[in-house]
Amino acid sequence: MGKLRFASVWMGGCSGCHMSFLDLDEWLFDLAEAVDVVYSPVADVKTFPEKVDVTLVEGAIANQDHLELIHVIRKNSRLVVSFGDCAVTGNVTAMRNLIGEAEIVLDRAYKDAQLLRPQVPHDDGIVPPLIERVVPVHAVIPVDLYIPGCPPPAKRIRAVLQAVIEGKSPEMIGREMLKFG
Amino acid sequence: MPRTLTINGQEISARSDQTILEAAQDANIRIPTLCHLDGLTDVGACRMCLVEVAGASKLLPACTTRVQEGMQVQTDTERLRAYRRQIIELLFAERNHICAVCVANGHCELQNAGIAVGMDHVRYDYLFPKLGVDLSHERFGMDHNRCILCTRCVRACDQLEGAHTIDVMGRGAHSLIVHDMNVPWGEATTCTSCGKCVMACPTGALFKQGSTVAEMVHDAEKLAFLKAARERKVWNV
């Protein structure tokens, strides 16, 4: 059996899920034996490749870039995994939905809270425009697996990846695997 | 007059004034609950304890249905498990339950119920309602974002403290827990600040001021203790 083509992406999240992924410590060597990392925030690859076996998606869908990339990810990945609470529920990233839509949120951040030259950055190509409402990944594309947790504990990530490597479906049962937060 | 019935095929006997839930508890058969709390009357609000009763066309809440002679009850069928997961997902979708930043993270009955029903994601659209946080009381806070409208606080305040400061306003998903005639909690003149509502709350909706993420541990068992002490003069400590 050849190596699995493995990707991870960082959408609207704090990168804490990737930090927890790095908490896998020496098991990362075993993982490196079983997968090729073809796209990741920790690998310098600019475009999302084709024929990916498994993609971990950290973060909610919060801006235009996320929205465009997530469709490419779905098209090019055999398994898409919602990785952590932001991807699974929207979590803290989606708390801006309580204030209102994008313009209201930007005003709150860039105008209401600024004393010195308050202005919302609008220049094209600088920062991606926010979408009106933050949504979990499965609200946009079909998702194959969910790993809850803020962040998911390393043991939980390992249990899922181990199963995926062995071609099994992970047993998402009990506190160890399912506790949010 | 005792009643004989079966729960999941197991023959048990119960007193005629017992509910299916009480009979099940006595027989060590676990039926999931959320709005039920030992020491308070039952209202059948959350529907987690729905069971199948042979011959009944509808599912019945175990907490408010009395046992009957010859009753055949099923508490853990595929259909019930599917409904229970739906109920929990709908509760998560209806308000803003963000475990990661909640005072009750790790000590929450809603969070535990999610684990118990195997919820790995919520299939419904989150509503993200705009709801307030009442911090006007000097010792306690109420975060409506985390409230599941189980009314345990309402019943604890009414039935154990006797103050009836707390009640429910509005209808359906727009219902809201209110104090007195919908005044800020700190201005509610009937509130004795006893804290029984905070003990009764299953989530992080009611909390002690100053508690931060994962610090709020409720003390719901104390209410059953209080009721037993008061009514039966039993002090189990």
Got the DSSP string for B27-91?
TT-----SS--TTS-----S-TTEEEETT-SS-EETTT-B--TT-EEESS-HHHHHHHHHHHHHH
Burial class (CB in 10 A: 0-12, 13-18, 19+), B197: buried
pLDDT band at residue A1, thresholds of 50, 70 and 90? Answer: low
Tell whether the model's pLDDT for residue B107 goes beyond 80. yes
Please calculate the CA angle A102-A106-A112 and round it to the nearest 5 degrees.
140
Average confidence (pLDDT) over B75-81: 97
Cβ within 8 Å of residue B6, ≥6 positions away: B12, B71, B72, B73
pLDDT band at residue A117, thresholds of 50, 70 and 90? Answer: confident
- Identify the CATH number of the domain in which residue A75 sits: 3.40.50.700
**Residue B96 at interface with chain A, using a CB cutoff of 8 Å:** yes
| Domain presence at residue A36 | yes
pLDDT band at residue B219, thresholds of 50, 70 and 90? Answer: confident
Structural domains of chain B, ranges and CATH numbers in brackets: 2-76 (3.10.20.740), 88-232 (3.30.70.20)
**How far apart are the C-alpha atoms of B27 and B15, rounded to whole Å?**
12
**How far apart are the C-alpha atoms of A49 and A103, rounded to whole Å?**
33
| Domain presence at residue A22 | yes
The shortest C-alpha distance from B214 to chain A (Å) reads: 10
pLDDT band at residue A113, thresholds of 50, 70 and 90? Answer: confident
**How far apart are the C-alpha atoms of B2 and B18, rounded to whole Å?**
10
Q: Give SS3 for B188.
A: coil
Chain B contact set for A85 (CB, 8 A): 99-100
| Domain presence at residue A61 | yes
Longest dimension (CA), chain B: 53
Closest residue of chain B to A173, computed from CA coordinates: B118
Cβ within 8 Å of residue B25, ≥6 positions away: B31
Phi, psi dihedrals of residue B126, rounded to the nearest 5°: -70, 140
B215-to-B105, B108, B194 alpha-carbon distances in Å: 8, 11, 20
Q: Give SS3 for A36.
A: strand
Task: Closest CB to B114: pick one of A97, A143, A180.
Answer: A180
| Domain presence at residue A57 | yes
pLDDT tens digits, residue range A122-137?
Answer: 888 888 999 999 999 9
**Whether B126 and A181 lie within 8 Å, measured CB to CB:** no
Percentage, residues of chain A above pLDDT 70: 99
pLDDT tens digits, residue range B131-185?
Answer: 999 999 999 999 999 999 999 999 999 999 999 999 999 999 899 999 999 999 9
Check if the interface score ipTM surpasses 0.85: yes
**Residue A146 at interface with chain B, using a CB cutoff of 8 Å:** yes
* Secondary structure of B74-105 as H, E, C letters: ECCCHHHHHHHHHHHHHHHHHCCCCHHHCCCC
| Domain presence at residue A121 | no
| Domain presence at residue A58 | yes
Q: Give SS3 for A58.
A: strand
Average confidence (pLDDT) over A43-70: 97
pLDDT tens digits, residue range A148-176?
Answer: 999 999 999 999 999 999 999 999 999 99
Chain A contact set for B121 (CB, 8 A): 82, 88-89, 136, 138, 143, 146, 148
Report the pLDDT value the prediction gives residue B108, as an integer from 0 to 100: 97
> Structurally, how many domains does chain A consist of?
1
The shortest C-alpha distance from B114 to chain A (Å) reads: 8
| Domain presence at residue A123 | no
**Residue A16 at interface with chain B, using a CB cutoff of 8 Å:** no
Q: Taking the alpha carbons of B216, B217, B223, B225 in that order, is the dihedral positive or negative? A: negative
Computed over every residue of chain B, the mean pLDDT equals: 96
pLDDT band at residue A121, thresholds of 50, 70 and 90? Answer: confident
Please calculate the CA angle A107-A109-A114 and round it to the nearest 5 degrees.
95
pLDDT band at residue A115, thresholds of 50, 70 and 90? Answer: confident
**How far apart are the C-alpha atoms of A154 and B51, rounded to whole Å?**
38
Task: Quote the DSSP letter at residue A178.
Answer: H
**Helices within A4-140 (DSSP H only):** 16-22, 27-34, 64-76, 85-89, 102-106
Tell whether the model's pLDDT for residue A177 goes beyond 70. yes
Q: Domain of A94?
A: 4-98+131-178
Task: Closest CB to B105: pick one of A136, A143, A181.
Answer: A181
- Cβ atoms of B147 and B95 within 8 Å: the answer is yes
Tell whether the model's pLDDT for residue B237 goes beyond 80. no
| Domain presence at residue A148 | yes
